[in-house]
Structure 1
């Protein structure tokens, strides 16, 4: 009798172990709808939306899953309630690449080359018919820790020009970094050394202040591995400094994504929705070789997505992928990411300072007088709206809360007000957005050890059903991400059609 009872107990334990008791099992058949598409895209930011539009053009059916209540990711546009004036506070500029011209043309949007029109004279009022990003101001360099004026040691214009020319020549050896992470083996040391060492090695110091000003959000730029820095400020930026960056002609980059939503149809967009579980290697309810994603939606409960291919277009942090049936390769690669830096942007009013002057944060005693983070990069008037100011705040890690960032910002504004003998005010927040973590990174030893070879090898995994795009697979730059989709992602997906 004892042996029979023991056998029954062991049989029960074994049967229990075989059953995963996962989210799919617990909610089997409880979804409100099964949505079948050729491609399911997880993430409705710059990469995911562009990929969706590109796939629709190739006669593929798509569905986009986005956790926020809007498409566009880090692209945010403020609309002033009284004047309807527009201010882009997230993505503002684009490199003059053919993919940018093509995307704007497809969506019938006005595109402006910022060097093709006359800017206001610094010290004079803004031209309100132009995007707010084109407001030119006078400049003051101030240590935001105590309000003291900083006298920068400036290089001659010829020295700056020569430094950028040298940089362009050097980076031309590594042109492949502009198209993804398909790196040679072994990886050149230049690409994983600290960026400050790269700057010194090639005598590019005269160019660094301009690079730093454009590379806001990259945190401690002198110490990040060079590959991340030269992807974010690259030869395309050097050309754009002369030929001009592009922007939405009305200062409304968010319109890109509202138009794109119309293009792919909002019936194919699930906003305020997240993937809670995935079955990409077996099928529970549908026939054929199709991946399945269980999605929690805002108003309609669970939906089951059935797709031939999946595009992951969100930061592949393991915390973002809870519930996914990750492969061993995905688990190993994604676990190598470190939270790199934080970046927050917004607008405040009721500052009461000189609206023709931008105060740039320049610390005494640091290399190149770069600010000591966490801190504001600068305090700059919008110009097109009275007493409204841009907020661009950086940190070397993304762990600060929104309230902590606001507290830092308000203290630093008070420091500048005191330094300028202005009345202390309580700044009023009009819009405030987090872009953190701004750019996922891995350690230099991982770059040297072939991390990016393993990362790029994930494309087309699970029998040609799994693909990836976004900043982690290239860089935090819409122009280059759109080109990555065109040159790398879509052709790779087509290999399995």
Structure 2
């Protein structure tokens, strides 16, 4: 019996599975590039642009119908006003501004706290109105937050100056980075900042119990500086302006609606992939190097030819859930903020949303529904909103029929969100082991799991760690 190589068998089998017998007779198209990039989100597209500028040929493989990952926009057909879903603002840092300038996307700067519309506060789970603070109470609260920011900046961020550069945790690993974040905050006297951290960088997980490293990562120097100053946004008001410009720049170097059928990294000098797009024969891609920018869960990449070490490390990740979207709530005027009346640091009860923020169009609101795991559906997220509206209607915060009349013109599941490991794994050196994978088997790894759920942090990781090593490997 004739023996087929593993790669040739995969090509042959995928051909039989996905195209007609007649088209199998034709040779499978082969594409040769310097770098293949799996994942066309924030990290993958940024890497592609940087490598293209360095003279490398690239090919981005994206499973969705558009690039940009969590940067999604819904434009109201009646008002023409864009509502940014997921990614709303960008840190005001040099690396962010340089990237926008490179793609020719005009920007402006805003302070979301100063420009936000006035919100009424309720506990959405109890239907309990949160009384407005008196002038004296508001002043005392602002002073407490200012003091906490000072303590946090001086005692924490100055100590962990690498926090915006990925998980470059020093050895020996500081034990305090594995503490519950509330305990860590008490140690350094910035507890008054925890409600702000939770609400502004939604959803960070349970702000009281997440390991300290994740709490700091969610509110690093770049974010804190922008929070107390200004953020960058596209001048158009549409976050996707950045990714439309990137799509134009990359052109045919992006394969959308793609399914990866096979990955072979056994060769010393290249990586082979088989990729399927709808109504097309499979494509054979041969790349000198591979970047994996898709979330590194076993569900996403478990079918790859993972090494024993890769499988061991990626199997330790767990995630929380986040559904972002736009809701039409007839009769609701003004934004509502979800404040936990009885929870530590007044964080919302989960599963739940952090509030309904006006999108700029009448009766239309941005929302983000959080879950403490990824075992949910989009219907579950919509049910959370309906339950909240029913509770709020009972106290007159929204019209009585809101839970029946609410519609969701745009909603998107962003799971797996915030890939993390346990405190024990952090203390045992998980991230040092994870970073040791870079470059092995002609593969480089990037994305939120390596940098944090923040575009600026991801681009820092690319430019500071991943791309210099990859370019050197390519001889660029």
**What TM-score results when the alignment is normalised by the length of structure 2?**
0.91
Correspondent of 1:439 among 403, 415, 418: 418
Structure 1 unpaired stretches of 5+: 1-11, 120-132, 283-287
Give 1:354-373 correspondences, 5 Å limit.
Answer: 354-355=333-334, 358-373=335-350
The CA deviation at 1:467 is 0.3
- Does structure 2 retain, via aligned residues, the 8 Å contact 1:218–1:438? no
The CA deviation at 1:216 is 0.6
Query: Matches of 2:259 and 2:214 in 1, distance apart?
Result: 29
Query: Matches of 1:18 and 1:137 in 2, distance apart?
Result: 62
Correspondent of 1:430 among 400, 406, 409: 409
Secondary structure at the aligned position of 2:244 is classed as helix
- Does structure 2 retain, via aligned residues, the 8 Å contact 1:346–1:391? yes
Query: Matches of 2:35 and 2:275 in 1, distance apart?
Result: 15
Correspondence for 1:311: 291
Correspondence for 2:39: 43
Deviations 1:81-136 (A, max 9, x none): 12321111110111111111111111111211104xxx9xxxxxxxxxxxxx9852
Correspondent of 2:280 among 297, 300, 306: 300
The CA deviation at 1:16 is 9.0
Correspondent of 1:252 among 231, 238, 262: 238
Give 1:219-230 correspondences, 5 Å limit.
Answer: 219-230=205-216
The structure-2 alpha-carbon separation of the partners of 1:16 and 1:62, relative to structure 1 and needing over 3 Å to count, comes to: closer
Query: Matches of 2:312 and 2:90 in 1, distance apart?
Result: 34
Correspondence for 1:457: 436
Secondary structure at the aligned position of 1:163 is classed as helix
Secondary structure at the aligned position of 2:327 is classed as strand
Correspondent of 1:190 among 170, 176, 182: 176
Correspondence for 1:490: 467
Secondary structure at the aligned position of 2:354 is classed as strand
- Does structure 1 retain, via aligned residues, the 8 Å contact 2:15–2:282? no
Comparing 87-96 and 241-250, the one that deviates more:
241-250
Give 1:475-486 correspondences, 5 Å limit.
Answer: 475-486=452-463
- Does structure 2 retain, via aligned residues, the 8 Å contact 1:95–1:245? yes
Query: Matches of 1:212 and 1:19 in 2, distance apart?
Result: 48
Correspondence for 2:328: 349
Query: Matches of 1:141 and 1:350 in 2, distance apart?
Result: 17
Correspondence for 2:160: 174
Correspondent of 1:64 among 56, 60, 67: 60
Comparing 302-311 and 215-224, the one that deviates more:
215-224
Correspondent of 2:376 among 400, 403, 406: 400
Does 2:307 correspond to 1:327?
Answer: yes
Query: Matches of 1:490 and 1:370 in 2, distance apart?
Result: 38
Correspondence for 2:144: 159
Give 1:66-81 correspondences, 5 Å limit.
Answer: 66-81=62-77
**What TM-score results when the alignment is normalised by the length of structure 1?**
0.87
- Does structure 2 retain, via aligned residues, the 8 Å contact 1:186–1:448? no
- Does structure 1 retain, via aligned residues, the 8 Å contact 2:163–2:220? no
Structure 2 unpaired stretches of 5+: 17-23
Query: Matches of 1:495 and 1:229 in 2, distance apart?
Result: 33
Deviations 1:2-38 (A, max 9, x none): xxxxxxxxxx9xx999979963463489573111110
Query: Matches of 2:5 and 2:52 in 1, distance apart?
Result: 41
Does 2:222 correspond to 1:236?
Answer: yes
- Does structure 2 retain, via aligned residues, the 8 Å contact 1:150–1:362? yes
Correspondent of 2:260 among 275, 281, 295: 275
Aligned length in residues:
456
Correspondence for 1:123: none
Query: Matches of 2:79 and 2:87 in 1, distance apart?
Result: 22
- Does structure 2 retain, via aligned residues, the 8 Å contact 1:352–1:423? no
Query: Matches of 2:148 and 2:244 in 1, distance apart?
Result: 40
Query: Matches of 2:227 and 2:118 in 1, distance apart?
Result: 19
The CA deviation at 1:62 is 0.5
Query: Matches of 2:348 and 2:391 in 1, distance apart?
Result: 15
Correspondent of 1:142 among 122, 131, 139: 122
Query: Matches of 2:381 and 2:257 in 1, distance apart?
Result: 25
The CA deviation at 1:380 is 2.1
The structure-2 alpha-carbon separation of the partners of 1:218 and 1:22, relative to structure 1 and needing over 3 Å to count, comes to: farther
The CA deviation at 1:255 is 1.5
Correspondent of 1:218 among 180, 204, 207: 204
Correspondence for 2:364: 388
Deviations 1:287-344 (A, max 9, x none): x822101112123131111000000001111111133111122112111112x21111
The structure-2 alpha-carbon separation of the partners of 1:19 and 1:37, relative to structure 1 and needing over 3 Å to count, comes to: closer
The CA deviation at 1:210 is 1.4
Does 2:354 correspond to 1:377?
Answer: yes
Does 2:427 correspond to 1:448?
Answer: yes
Query: Matches of 1:16 and 1:336 in 2, distance apart?
Result: 37
| Larger Cα-atom Rg | 1
